[in-house]
Structure 1
Amino acid sequence: MSGARKPVDPTERGAARQTVTIHFAGFNRAWAAWIGDRLERRGQRVVYLRWESPADVPLVDLLRDLKLAEGRILIVVSDWYFQLGPRTHEEWNEALREVVAPDPSRFAAVSVTTATIPSAAAVLAPVALTNMGAEEAERRLLDRLDLPSEPLSEPPAAARRGPRFPASMPDVWGAVPRRNTRFTGREDLFNEAYNLLLNSEPGAGVLTFYGMSGVGKTQLAAEYAHRFGSEYDVVWWVNAEGRVTYRRQLAEMAPKLGLQTGQEYGERLRAVRDSLRRGEPYSRWLLILDGADEPDQIWDMVPNGPGHVLITSRNPEWGEHNSRLLEVPVYARDESVAFIRRRAPRLTETEADQLADALEDLPLLLDQTAGWLNDSDMSVRQYIRLLEDGVDGDVVKVSADFPLAFQTAWSILLNKLRETVPESVDLLRLCTFFAPGFIPVRLLREVPSDELPEQLARLFNDPLLWNRAINQLRTYSVVRLESHESSGDETVSSGESLYLHRMVHQIVHKDMPDSDRHEFVDVVRRALAAADPRRPTDSDLWPGYAEITPHLKYADVLQSRDPQVQRLVFNCLRYMYFSGEYPSGIKLAERALNAWRELLGQSHPRIWELTYHYTNLLRASGDYVRSEALSRDAVDHLREQRGEQDLEHVRAAAGLAADLRGLGRFDEALEMSQWVLAAYRELLGEQDSRTLSAQNNLALSLRLLGWYREALDVDKQTMEARRQFLRARHPFTLSSENSYSIDLRLLGRYAEAESIQRKNVHEARIALGRDNPLTLRAEYNLALCRYRMGDRDRRRDQGDGPQEPGALLASVLERGERVLGETNPWTLMFATGQSCYAREHGDIDQARELSEAVVARYEVMLTEGHPFIAGARANQALILRNVGEREQAHALIEQAHGEMTQALGESHPWSLGCALNASALRNLVGDIEGAADLSRDTVTRATEWLGRTHPLTLSTRIAYAADLRGLRDRRQAEKVEQEALTDLDATLGSKHSHTVSARARNRPYWDFEPQST
């Protein structure tokens, strides 16, 4: 409103510094902040006074008290300002005439609403600040207060730091729920939340609203976004109930932030997290994570940087993950009363108080109950009597698992829905076979009509009936309508979802007729199966699987005999394997195995296909014993039932070979890998993807047995074929490139390996994301390539993460522990590399802590005699040597050498490495002859196995020269040393750290490096 201005006492424009008290409703805090900032820049002293309007205090008295404030009183006029209380327009008109009209000079006003306000508000002479730009709004504000409006000369940076103009939306506004115009109260929570975030240090602006279901956490967060959103450049809402959904919705920010990325899911996710961390192009961002009830699922993905993160959760454990906590209680009674009266204006204050007491002040129940009571002829007294007496007769009832008040309140509400629009109850029940939260309605609308039950077919095919049902549910706050696009359309289009509260979901799902349950769950299963992208290895399609997987449990897909639904389960398990979601995949596979054995029988073909996916996930998490037992059972059964040349049997045998590799039985694994490859070549030909996978696995077996040249040849052939027959960024292709680079590095061809691996890391980050297990493995090998090249200091952070090997190893380990867990085989591999680097470069305490943890975890996870345990003990012996515990180190390395030799033979490179270290410890404890004997034998074996100029052979030759000097055979020592130094110069270069160290006569050593199995 901007009526004619009333006369005011003359004030001298531009006079001395004056005080302005800004009086505002909490809803309009952003306007107050912007106005205050504009005035303070003009030298005015500003006092902020939030409008409190307790219903038991007469409005006239409140306005008289307001006149006690300092200076001019500037009222931010809005419909919210006049609704607090709530007060009628008649009350306001009376109070304004009595208090403001006699002394108008004390008051001024700006209007930030276009709604109808009390007519007597004209005495305030408010000037409108809406529907215009910031400059014009500021000019009007200053003119209303008789202040000069000439432009200020201030640097752009200072202007940037001030509050944003409230009428301007953030540049990026994503998926935030519509504003609830009935939102009431919570002012203290808003104040505390706002101040906590405002005063947080960069990187520490994380706050969690936590509390029981139904107290309004989501509504509170949504109101916070609308109320304070104008202070941010970016406001983005994410459904955080599961990790996969969270990652997908975070990745969707990329194009909105203007980030130049491809379509790959992983690349977008990486770019978004990096952009938020750096605060470029936007430093003022607010990310809201709704429904994050399992911190362990997503805490590692919460961005840090200059912006703010607001979390809603039932779980206070967020306090252990760098978040401040604010508990959201049920409404205070005055808030309940105010809310009910706004929701149901026909109820008196006394009736509202009685209803609030009966419903225990729970906001969700108040919202739904007051909504339909307002449209009903039923009195509050009658309703409360119903609550007390229970519901009888032919009505919809709610499960007895809920407290009596909940049961009865919901039974009443559902029967009200059934009486008015019966189809709304059908739709509500149907939605409970999806996960609570956002219900992808478009999936339902795409199910063919001839496959739907009669009542649902009628609902889906009649747009008017559909919208009546939706609107009925919305009217009584049973569901929310949320749009994924900017649209004023109130219908549920393909770009919109229904939001179903967890408590509503649980209550409705608990009790419904069996006939509806069977029909509705079948519809949802078919909808999910129809949405299957059908290519789980394609990372571009992972967002589709991320959308589907949360709903599998609620649609009870494991009880379906439909082949399409069962195929969906397999594809989701495959997606979880490739995307690194191992725990979720194992949980789904275990449930599926138990359910299908009972549903289909112990020997149904689906059981063996499921076993294949299950064992892949178990193996990836390091559970080789369980995986081997399942694989062997499958191999034996399929061989007996179908014969050796059956494709299912061959695939099961390939899995068993992988289990044998994990268990350290490398010779058996090689033999089986060779048989599997031959079988696939005969059955499918050379170019089939399954043949190439078998070829890849043969190279793994060869590498583990120390046959590096042979592994290189096989990996090169596989890599070139996968590049030709699969896309360049396919996970299989990226894995082959990584394997080829590892072979080159193990052969001592460090520069070639680093060049290939650098490209591979870049492609993996783009295609899969920084935290995908394949990307972590690629970065780990890149760090080792640079470490072996002697590259410690040259490479720094180049905007795409750390480049120097030590920092890259640390980064990979930190992310591996978060993403995969501390006991995952790859995490233990990363920890081993970091420990060796730390031992060599000064942090012996960290090296020892990591090494001891690796040894302990291998001893628990693997059987005694496993080569990995021996190798980890060999590394531990080097640490003991470095800290002066020589005798313990000597005993441990001799043990490790014996175990490694027994497991793999004397000539395996790992046995040669243990021998190199054992000879050094013998020399150190005074067993000079024993050291020389072992060194001489090690040189001979290394030369035969690896060649004269392999880095490990060169190390054994340098060590042998040292032992010859110990025996005082200086002539032979000089000859051996000079020949080795000449070969070091030619192989690694004169400036390589190994060459420099050898010239300084530092005894070489060997680091055990676990390999992928």
Structure 2
Amino acid sequence: MDGVPDRIVISHTGKDRDWAQWARWHLEAAGYRTELDSVDRVPGTNVVEAMHRALSRDNPLLVLLSAEYLGSDEFATDEWTARFAQRRRDPAARLIPLRVENVDLSDGIWAPIVVADVFDLTPDRATAALLDAVRRAVDAGPPEPLSVVPPQYPGRAEVSAGTDGPRPVKPLPVVWNLARRNTAFTGRDGMLDRLRDALSNGSRVAVQALYGMGGVGKTQLALEYAHRFADDYDLVWWIPSEQPELIADHLAALAQDEQLRLVPPDTPTPQAVKALRDHLRRVGRWLLIFDNAEDREDLFPWLPDGPGHLLITSRNPNWTGIAEAVDVDVFARAESVALLRTHLPHLAEADADRLADALGDLPLGVGQAVDLLAETGMPVQDYLDDLAAHTAELMSEGRPPAGYPVSLAATVTLTADHLCDTAQAAGQLLYMCAQLGSETIPIDLFTASPELLPEPLNTTVRRPLAFRRVLGQLGRHGLARLTTSGPVLHRLVQAVLRDTDPNSAMHLSTVENLLAAAGPDDATHPKWWPRWTALLPHILAVNPATTENRDLCSAATGAIWHLLARGDAQMALPLAEFLHQSWIAKHGPDDLIVLNISESLAAAHTALGNYRQAYELDQDMFVRRRGLYGADSPLTLNAARNLAIDLSDLGELGQAQELNEDTLARSRRVLGDDHPDTLTSASHLAADLSQLGEFERARELDEDTLARRRRVLGDDHPDTLTSASNLAVDFTQLGEFEGARELDEDTLARRRRVLGDDHPGTLTSASNLAVDFFRLGEFEGARELDEDTLARRRRVLGDDHPDTLTSAGNLALDLEALDRADDARVLRRRFKVKS
């Protein structure tokens, strides 16, 4: 049909989905092609890319305006503001706004635009208004509508005087016992739409179980679903299910309801339930909601058959064989911020984000914060400080938000008390998990050292199936989310449990011992990085700065070495500084714990190019260790190696060489020629020789060290790769550019595989290989590699790190060699590097 656009994009929010489907049907029937995200964008679609494609074509944008649409819906806002921007550049960009509810457009950006209404009309008049608006926008005459049944008109139909008029399609079902709709309900549109799709997929009985921890809003989600899609049903009934023995009475009440009247009011419960089941088996368009069910075995006998829908809310994730389990997690951050700013309109977005983060986006916690802040006018920072110090007390304050029977603190403590009363081992595990971080807790943290645990948990963890059942108890009570790697507890739940734990000191002590035992001896080898990564948040959670457990202090120091080994000095430095200051005040400067953390702190400064700070720490530590343990102690020799690195970095190459030669001789005598520490001394001495111009001596020492490291440590050990990289530099200095290139290419490939693309060691190899390309006249290859390395070093190390400046200088040389002198000057000026 001439004049018909490629397609009309329908922009709407989740709450207005019925309107969108109604508009889509009538437009398609009238010959227009449409795009509707909830239908045309299948799971896995990149929504942002799909929106960009839709709006970049010559497609009219049909906007369904409602209070929700003009409120906080992020993607809807993106769509209409993008079209307004297009209209400013090109007035032919077509926008078709329709009001689907009575929202005020008299002020703001919509005021000068003609907007048609389609609400509170008869279905025919609404359809005519829709098609008229589209015709005027696209100037096309559509054919006759298709001869199929359209969707019901989503609005409240206007009743003409003197006629019965059409039956309104949005009243509540006649058989209905639900609570009033929660007007403060926020977000969850995507989940509600997916829930409706799942229940309407044609199954004989569609059953969905909404599960999650207490306070995530399972009940509120079920209530909103029932209200939002009420016109899909003729019967909707809410059945409290926390007490299984009362479920039959609730079902009997439905059978005896005065609108349904399946049985007389005095009918015995068994006969009433049977009559109800028989009725539901024969009819459709019904929804039963079993709220707060605890156990599938208790609920299963009461679930009816028939072509209706069943919703279950529960803390228990296990509904295998009964229902499709749907994990209800915390709010998305945008949903938390929207709820906070809706009810606290003067709250800055940054403060709302800070609040949401501290509350872990838990709906009940966010709701309680809204109530307390609205009531008291308390400054955000004061609230956050109080939350950190007195979580349980604060989470008990004020009224719980609408739809929640009790506060978060009461929810957590009552559930924990019940768990401890019924399953002692599970209670012990729960309170220990509360002492740890809010990330996944490795299961083997407990199973690897059962002797450290109290009874009965000690005995339980020795039996894998029994321990898994104990973990299942935490999930079943909604106190933890279970993953294949271990349980995850919400931070607010943990804080409330810590505040109310009657044996907090004992549980903390046990957890400290478990963490101390769990850390691998080697904190630097890549094979142990995943283990240290998993342990790090839990080591930090128990606050090693204040602990009396010296083994935990060693584990914390190991975690810092892990961060340094994987190239994350930015994170390692502030942690090492904090522990260093705390432990000096607690133990004094000569304590072994303090000397060990001093060593890691100095290494962090070295990695970040803070050479003077590293030197001062290493110099002090070398003197102290030599005085405490003697010149030949392995601890003192290690301090000497670190001090020699600092001297070299500061340009004191002669002193560095002298100290490294002495340290290497002592290490060979004390530790042996092939000890890893001895080989580290040899590697450092070779680097000094290279910088002093003694390239042949450096090459000989590096070749010997590389051979020994390959034999002792293996070809892919990070220290072996360091030796290979150093030897390649020796080749370059000696003019053996092809040999350097071959070794650098192999080392770079190995470092990328072992350490990752952005590791500082990998970037060193990339930089060295670019130098090889340059020396061989392959300037374009050098430029490409130097550009990539500079970008990565800026991101990983920062603009002012010496290695970043080296890359900038090398790239400038590449550009000059490619006759791009102007670009080279700009680069040198940007990074203040000389030619």
TM-score w.r.t. structure 2 length?
0.56
Give the whole-Å Cα distance in 2 for the aligned partners of 1:129 and 1:76. 22
1:721-762 deviation per Cα after TM superposition (whole angstroms, max 9, x unaligned) = 111111211111111111111111122221111111111111
Cα distance in 1 for partners of 2:414, 2:32 equals 49
1:634 maps onto 2:632 in alignment: no
Distance in 2 (CA, whole Å) between partners of 1:781 and 1:32 is 45
Are 1:420 and 2:422 matched, yes or no? no
Structure 2 residue aligned with 1:261: none
Aligned mate of 2:590, from 577, 588, 603 = 603
| Residue 678 (str. 1) matches residue 665 (str. 2) | yes
Q: CA deviation at 1:674?
A: 0.4
Please give the alpha-carbon distance, in whole angstroms, between the structure 1 residues aligned to 2:65 and 2:42.
Answer: 14
Of 310, 325, 329, which residue of structure 1 is paired with 2:339? Answer: 329
Residues 338-391 of structure 1, C-alpha deviation per residue, up to 9 Å, x if partnerless?
xxxxxxxxxxxxxxxxxxxxxx9x97118999xxxxxxxxxx9xxx9xxxxxxx
Deviations 1:382-435 (A, max 9, x none): xx9xxxxxxxxxxx9845667943899334334433553346876555334322
Q: Does 1:440 align with 2:430?
A: no
C-alpha distance in 1 between matches for 2:815 and 2:60: 56
Distance 1:561 1:506, change over 3 A: closer
SS in 1 for 2:540: coil
Instruction: Answer yes or no: is 1:90 the counterpart of 2:90.
Output: no
Secondary structure of the structure 2 residue equivalent to 1:557: coil
Secondary structure (helix, strand or coil) at the match of 1:421 reads helix
| Structure 2 residue identity aligned to 1:747 | L
Matched residues in 2 for 1:400 and 1:521: separation?
21
Corresponding residue for residue 563 of structure 2: 576
- CA 1:463–1:758: 2 relative to 1, 3 Å: closer
1:52/1:625 Cα in 2 relative to 1: closer, same or farther (>3 Å)? closer
Amino acid at match of 2:398: A
Alignment match, 2:801? 824
Q: What per-residue deviation string (whole Å, max 9, x for no partner) do you get for residues 534-576 of structure 1? A: 3333213212222222222212134344454233223222221
More divergent stretch after superposition (406-415 vs 761-770): 406-415
Structure 2 residue 476 is the aligned partner of structure 1 residue 471:
yes
**1:780 matched residue in structure 2:** 767
Higher mean C-alpha deviation, range 724-733 or range 832-841: 832-841
Shift of 1:503: 4.4
CA contact (8 A) 2:554 2:593 kept: no
The verdict on how the C-alpha distance between 1:820 and 1:458 changes in structure 2, with shifts beyond 3 A counting, is: same
Deviation at 1:820, TM superposition (A): 1.4
Letter aligned with residue 757 of structure 1: D
Q: Specify whether residues 366 and 90 from structure 1 end up closer, same or farther in structure 2 by C-alpha distance, changes over 3 A only.
A: farther
Q: CA deviation at 1:465?
A: 6.2
- Give the Cα separation in 2 of the matches to 1:76 and 1:129: 22
Aligned partner letter, 2:452? E
Structure 2 residue 789 is the aligned partner of structure 1 residue 812 = yes
Structure 1 length normalisation: TM-score?
A: 0.47
Q: Does 1:497 align with 2:449?
A: no
Q: Structure 1's 73 and 129: CA in aligned 2 closer, same or farther, altered over 3 A?
A: farther
Q: Distance in 1 between matches of 2:470 and 2:339?
A: 38
Offset at residue 835 of structure 1 (A): 2.6
Deviation at 1:680, TM superposition (A): 0.4
**Match 1:752 to one of 718, 739, 751:** 739
1:815: how far off?
Answer: 0.2
Aligned residues: 544
Inter-CA distance 31–572: structure 2 relative to 1 (3 Å threshold): closer
Cα deviation, 1:654-675, whole Å, max 9, x if unaligned, reads 1111110111111110100100
Instruction: Please give the residue correspondences for 1:581-596 in structure 2 after superposition, counting only pairs within 5 Å.
Output: 581-596=568-583
Distance 1:51 1:681, change over 3 A: same
1:273-319 Cα distance to aligned partner (Å, 9 max, x none): xxxxxxxxxxxxxxxxx99xxxxxxxxxxxxxxxxxxx9658xxxxx
Query: Whole-Å Cα distance in 1 between the matches of residues 760 and 437 of structure 2?
Result: 28
Shifted more, 67-76 versus 754-763: the winner is 67-76
What is the alpha-carbon distance in structure 2 between the residues aligned to residue 551 and residue 457 of structure 1? 21
Q: Classify 1:620/1:46 alpha carbon distance in 2 versus 1 (closer, same or farther; 3 Å).
A: closer
**Identical amino acids, percent of aligned pairs:** 19
Q: CA deviation at 1:709?
A: 1.8
Among residues 697, 719, 737, which one is paired with 1:732 in the alignment?
Answer: 719
Q: Could you tell me whether the CA contact under 8 Å between 2:757 and 2:763 is conserved in 1? A: yes
Distance 1:743 1:692 in 2: 17
Matches within 5 A, 1:27-66: 65=123
Query: Counterparts of 1:541 and 1:32 in 2: how far apart (Å)?
Result: 36
Task: Give, in angstroms, the shift of residue 705 of structure 1.
Answer: 1.3
CA separation in 1, counterparts of 2:444 and 2:717?
A: 28
Q: For residue 364 of structure 1, what is the aligned residue in structure 2?
A: 363
User: 2:437 is aligned with what amino acid?
Assistant: A
Contact 2:460 2:467 (C-alpha < 8 Å) held by counterparts: yes
Q: 1:23, 1:51 within 8 Å by CA — same for their partners in 2? A: no
* AA aligned opposite 2:625: L
**Partner Cα separation in structure 1 for residue 615 and residue 578 of structure 2:** 19
CA contact (8 A) 2:474 2:480 kept: no
Contact between 1:783 and 1:809, CA under 8 Å: does it hold in 2?
A: yes
Write the mapping of 1:264-663 to structure 2, written as runs, cut at 5 A: 328-330=338-340, 364-365=363-364, 398=391, 404-405=397-398, 409-418=407-416, 420-422=418-420, 429-436=431-438, 438-440=439-441, 442-446=443-447, 448-453=449-454, 467-472=472-477, 474=478, 479=479, 481-484=481-484, 495-500=485-490, 502-506=491-495, 508-509=497-498, 511-512=499-500, 516-663=503-650
- Secondary structure, aligned partner of 1:657: helix
**In structure 2, how many angstroms separate the alpha carbons of the residues matched to 1:609 and 1:456?**
35
Tell me, in whole angstroms, the C-alpha distance in 2 between the residues paired with 1:63 and 1:776: 67
What residue number does 1:838 align with? 815
- Asked if the contact 1:53/1:62 (under 8 Å) is kept, the reply is no
Given that 1:21 and 1:48 are in contact with CA atoms closer than 8 Å, whether structure 2 keeps it comes out as: no
- 1: CA distance, partners of 2:170 / 2:733: 76
Which amino acid counterpart does residue 476 of structure 2 have in structure 1? N
Give, as a single letter, the amino acid of the residue that structure 2 aligns with 1:659.
D
Amino acid in structure 2 at the alignment position of 1:848:
R
What is the Cα-based RMSD across aligned positions, in Å? 5.1
SS in 1 for 2:541: coil
Structure 1: 5+ residue runs without aligned partners?
A: 1-15, 38-44, 78-83, 93-110, 118-126, 132-177, 188-289, 292-310, 315-324, 334-359, 370-379, 385-395, 485-494, 794-803, 856-871, 879-1013
Distance 2:31 2:744 in 1: 64
SS of residue matched to 2:407: helix
* 1:976-987 alignment, distance < 5 Å: none
Residues 596 and 397 (structure 1 numbering): CA distance in 2 closer, same or farther, change over 3 Å?
closer
Tell me if structure 2 keeps the 8 A contact 1:686–1:692: yes
Q: AA paired with 1:841? A: L
Contact 1:822–1:828 (8 Å) recurs in 2: yes
Query: CA shift at 1:521, angstroms?
Result: 2.2
1:904 alignment partner in structure 2: none
Structure 1 residues 113, 409: closer, same or farther in 2, change over 3 A? closer
In structure 2, the partner of 1:195 is: none
Asked if the contact 2:611/2:650 (under 8 Å) is kept, the reply is yes
Kept in 1, the 8 Å contact 2:779–2:818? The answer is no
Q: How far, CA to CA, are the matches of 2:826 and 2:702 in structure 1? A: 35
The one-letter amino acid paired with 1:410 is L
Q: Return closer, same or farther for 1:751/1:728 CA change in 2, 3 Å cut-off.
A: same
Distance change in 2, residues 1:737/1:51 (3 Å): same
Letter of the structure 2 residue corresponding to residue 481 of structure 1: R
Cα distance in 2 for partners of 1:734, 1:66 equals 77
